[in-house]
Amino acid sequence: MPMYQLKCPACENQCTRRLTFSQYDSVKAGDEILPCTNCDKGGMLEFVFAPGDVGFVLRDGVSGGWISKANKESKYRGKRKTDMIRREKDHVFKNKLIPNLGGAEAHSWKDVQDEVRSKKGELAASTYIPLVAKEKRAS
């Protein structure tokens, strides 16, 4: 049941009450009147708009609630992700970077580095160090 903030215009007393939806509808329509419990003047309570006082709880029902459905979805997505990573590793071709110098293919990055060192010097050859190191780790 939702909680509503109410105010008595006679005594300026504010209170919070829990009302069912049908009670709320009948009070709004004017069929039911809520008397003020703190008022000696016989004031009737009126609804006050309180946007910060909205509260509700989502509970699991017969088919499951929001929380259980979110947990099921997270579990499914986690399983699907690991499955897709495995399938990608098994079926998707990964291009390898082919060592070349000036458009001519070389046997290895070490050969390209040696060629560049002889033609352009040590500074130009140092740019190939990461590729040579990666190639060495792979073999």
Query: In Å, what is the CA distance from 125 to each residue of 83, 98, 113, 114, 118?
Result: 42, 17, 5, 7, 9
pLDDT at residue 41 is higher than 70:
yes
- Whether residues 11 and 46 share a domain: the answer is yes
Q: What is the pLDDT of residues 110-135, one digit of tens each?
A: 999 999 999 999 999 999 999 999 98
Residues β-bridged to residue 44: 35
Q: What is the pLDDT of residues 91-116, one digit of tens each?
A: 988 887 788 888 888 889 999 999 99
- Whether residues 43 and 74 share a domain: the answer is no
- Whether residues 107 and 71 share a domain: the answer is no
pLDDT at residue 70 is higher than 70:
yes
Which residues form the domain of 18?
A: 3-53
| CA–CA gap between residue 27 and residue 29 (Å, rounded) | 5
Number of domains in the chain: 3
Listed as own residue / partner, the contacts of 90-97 with beta carbons closer than 8 Å and 24 or more positions apart are 97/131
Tell me which residue of 19, 36, 37 sits closest to 28, measured CA to CA: 19
- Whether residues 7 and 49 share a domain: the answer is yes
* Residue 119 confidence (pLDDT): 92
